Amino acid sequence: MGTNKRRSCSVIMDHPDLTLKAFTLAAISTILAACGERGVDESLKAEIEPAPETKPAAVETVEGAWFYKDSNGYPWAGFGPPRSEALFVIACREGQVVFQHAARHAADMSIELAEGKQEVAMTPNGDNLPMSEGALPANDPFIHLLAQSHGPIRVVLEDAAMTMPSDSSYRLVVNACIDGVAD
In the predicted model, what is the mean pLDDT of residues 79-99?
Answer: 92
Cα distances from 64 to residues 34, 76, 85, in angstroms, run 53, 16, 11
Phi/psi of residue 59, each to 5°? -90, 125
| pLDDT score for 24 | 54
Which run of H or of E encompasses 18? Answer: helix 18-36
Q: Which one-letter DSSP state was computed for residue 136?
A: E
| pLDDT score for 73 | 85
- What's this model's pTM, rounded to 2 decimal places? 0.65
Phi/psi of residue 153, each to 5°? -105, 130
In the predicted model, what is the mean pLDDT of residues 24-37?
Answer: 46
Alpha carbon dihedral 163, 166, 170, 176, in 10-degree steps, equals 140
| pLDDT score for 68 | 94
By three-state DSSP, how is residue 138 classified? Answer: coil
